Structure 1
Amino acid sequence: MFGFDQDMIFRIPALLIALTVHEYAHARAAVWLGDPTPRFEGRLTLNPIAHLDPIGLIMLWLFKFGWAKPVNINPGNFKNWRKGMIIVSFAGPGSNIIMAFISAIMIAVIGQMGLLTGWLAAILKLTYSYNIILAIFNLIPIPPLDGSKILSSLLPSRIAYQYDSLGQYGPFILMGLVYIGVIGAITYPLQLILSYIINQIVMVIV
């Protein structure tokens, strides 16, 4: 849990960047694959207002557990709906990994220039952390997270239907697992691994 501390104000821009990029990536991937729904609903934009759920943002700001406004898509518009769903679902977490990588490069470069101080350092480091967290968290195969949509697209139709029917209970299961610490126990090591990989690549580049 986050609680209140001196970095509270810096979390806002970091969250806006991470959430907006995540949802925009879903929208962009869907449109690229032939589904105009996100464009019609005004989601093909980097304007944070189009993607934010106020309550979800506050929850994520305070407790590291929250949500943005889901991007509606119509898989029937994809040439191959299974492949399309996998690509669109992974686009969100994938974009967060890219943003974490970009943030890490900026931290390294600006740090070498001796300018990584104050509010800039706080925002960049939080942007890096939030993108790592969102990337891993959203790949958990529990509805309505992106990982569940990827898994469902890989399963045989009959099993996928039964799996998807659990979606109505997914948010409650997820919140329960977060509360008792199971999600954190699973995701934290994966966050460390992803962070290590990104930092090793950045060290080679920078």
Structure 2
Amino acid sequence: MNPFLDFVIRAVLLVPALLIAIPVHEMGHAAAAYLLGDRSVRYFGYFKPDPRRFLEPLGAITVFVALVGWGRKVPVQPNRITTTGQKVIYELGGPAANLVVAVVLGTLFRVLVRMGVPASFDIGPGLLLAAVFAVVFLNLSLFAFQLLPIPGLDGWNVIEALFRSRNARFFFDVSVRRREVWVGCVIVLVVFQFLLGINLLSWVMSPFYQPASLISLGECDGYTIPGISGLFPCRL
């Protein structure tokens, strides 16, 4: 297949994956909040899988650029999630939901492949199962990315929930400078990727991504920045 057409097909497959993975993540937060006693998430419709409610433009665009992204945070009642344990559970609800979907669909994918169902990124009958694979991959990617300790992501929020009471000033300063932190992270990633040839994002995501991919898909080469010859690191 023409390399450019191959890339286009894989990019198109990201659309349904995006419409599933990001809502799943945010609905995971909503489910955690509901279990912790916040009934407002159900009243305001955060259990309805409507992508328009959850998608955030920049976070969606980033999916096609770097295979990671984010959605609109589900608002919760602060008086319902007050203790450190409750905050940690709420923050981990999103990544947990992505992992569950990845494991369920990944297991289904492996079973169907072993039954002889074709799966390939070539135009043809194998494209349907390839779309399932794309959903699995993006759920794994969001799971790993959101656990990174970067301000605004779930991993950082967990750290803040655990240590803010003893370091309130530090976490306040970081929250005020969140945009500068993100700009700095992007600059560092670009320098490592394009000047040094080192996929730094893959390296920092690997501790979360690789074990999860082994559980769901059985094997995987790991996360990677997309290139013209391929969009997903795992091979069908």
Count, aligned residues: 198
Residue 186, structure 1, aligned to residue 200, structure 2: no
**CA distance in structure 2 between the aligned counterparts of 1:99 and 1:175, rounded to whole angstroms:** 31
Show the counterpart of 1:204: none
Residue 8, structure 1, aligned to residue 11, structure 2: yes
- Calculate the TM-score normalised by the size of structure 2: 0.74
**CA distance in structure 1 between the aligned counterparts of 2:113 and 2:63, rounded to whole angstroms:** 28
Residue 124, structure 1, aligned to residue 132, structure 2: yes
Q: Verify the 8 A CA contact 1:26 1:88 in the aligned structure 2.
A: yes
Show the counterpart of 1:29: 32
- Write the letter of the residue equivalent to 2:202: G
Return closer, same or farther for 1:183/1:176 CA change in 2, 3 Å cut-off.
farther
State, as a whole percentage, how many aligned pairs show the same letter. Answer: 29
Return closer, same or farther for 1:196/1:175 CA change in 2, 3 Å cut-off.
farther
Q: Verify the 8 A CA contact 1:20 1:48 in the aligned structure 2.
A: yes
Match of 1:112 among 111, 114, 132: 114
Residue 82, structure 1, aligned to residue 84, structure 2: yes
**CA distance in structure 2 between the aligned counterparts of 1:148 and 1:22, rounded to whole angstroms:** 16
SS of structure 1 residue aligned to 2:136: helix
Shift of 1:171: 4.3
Shift of 1:125: 1.4
Gaps of 5+ in 2: 1-6, 120-125, 190-199, 220-236
Return closer, same or farther for 1:174/1:188 CA change in 2, 3 Å cut-off.
farther
Q: Verify the 8 A CA contact 2:68 2:138 in the aligned structure 1.
A: no
**CA distance in structure 2 between the aligned counterparts of 1:165 and 1:152, rounded to whole angstroms:** 12
Residues 94-118 of structure 1 show CA distances to partners (whole Å, capped at 9, x for unaligned) of: 1111111112111111112222332
Q: Verify the 8 A CA contact 1:86 1:150 in the aligned structure 2.
A: yes
**CA distance in structure 2 between the aligned counterparts of 1:187 and 1:73, rounded to whole angstroms:** 28
Return closer, same or farther for 1:160/1:110 CA change in 2, 3 Å cut-off.
farther
**CA distance in structure 2 between the aligned counterparts of 1:5 and 1:39, rounded to whole angstroms:** 38
What is the CA RMSD across the aligned residues, in angstroms? 2.4
- Calculate the TM-score normalised by the size of structure 1: 0.84
Return closer, same or farther for 1:110/1:58 CA change in 2, 3 Å cut-off.
same
Higher fraction of helix: 1
Show the counterpart of 1:54: 57
Show the counterpart of 1:173: 181
- Write the letter of the residue equivalent to 1:83: G
Shift of 1:18: 0.9
Higher-Rg structure is 2
Show the counterpart of 2:231: none
Return closer, same or farther for 1:137/1:164 CA change in 2, 3 Å cut-off.
farther
